[in-house]
Chain A
């Protein structure tokens, strides 16, 4: 839109701020890896209606080192067990 372009131009005139801002923006974006990890956690947490996916993400994170040496199903199973253990000690 024309109005948006006018504001953009005004902002671009402040060169030092603009460059910093673009660098900040690129760094702040969600990475592909982060997105994939979040999606996996959701698909694992989905059937557990009463539990938060955030807890799953912690367990998934803890189980990442095992991913390379087991099948995906085994990994999910291991993660589910970790999750159960974490849930039991949940404050």
Chain B
């Protein structure tokens, strides 16, 4: 493993552990916020790059607080990305993912057609970010309303309301209730 100047093997091990432990939930958070899987991958990478560059600081953060510490970094990454796009709207990563579903593996034909899958993908992307974020964190990571609330800094009751609203709106958008 290549180590940054001043980094120790302990730092590298801590980074490995943090990446493996938190990557999925941070990815889901970023995906929920931006609604774009490819962009979320780039933002995840940028988030953990900042974690790596601040690994000395990370070692001082208590284990149970690390998810929130990384989420705070991810929020800054999202803000920076938004600013960059405001200056340069034709950002490269946005154009690469107009049809996310096409690039990924085909689904089981017994469950649904590709058209239906694209439809649900589009429906989720079109949800307001605040609804999509709780839906993705709940569905992809299995977090409960209290955990999502702690991560987003909102009450658990608000999470439950948004989750219910997200599901209702998604059902309406794809025309299946």
Contact = CB atoms under 8 A, between A and B. Distances in A.
Chain A facing B: main interface SS: helix
Interface residues of B, number: 52
A29 to B, nearest CB: 6
Given A14-B171, A35-B23, A29 B111 contact: no
Contact of A38 (B1, B41, B164): B41
Interface string A25-38: 10111100011001
A54 B45 contact: yes
B145 A17 contact: no
A51 to B, nearest CB: 10
B5 interface: yes
B53 A49 contact: yes
A12 B121 CA distance: 18
Nearest to B1: A43
Given A20-B120, A54-B45, 10 more contacts: A14-B176, A17-B174, A20-B111, A28-B37, A28-B136, A30-B27, A30-B41, A35-B19, A38-B48, A49-B53
A46 B108 CA distance: 39
Contacts, number: 114
B98 to A, nearest CB: 16
9 contacts: A3-B156, A4-B138, A14-B171, A17-B176, A19-B112, A27-B101, A42-B19, A46-B53, A47-B5
A34 to B, nearest CB: 6
Interface string B1-33: 110110100000000100110011001000100
Contact of A54 (B42, B140, B174): B42
Contacts of B177: 14, 17
A24 B167 CA distance: 14
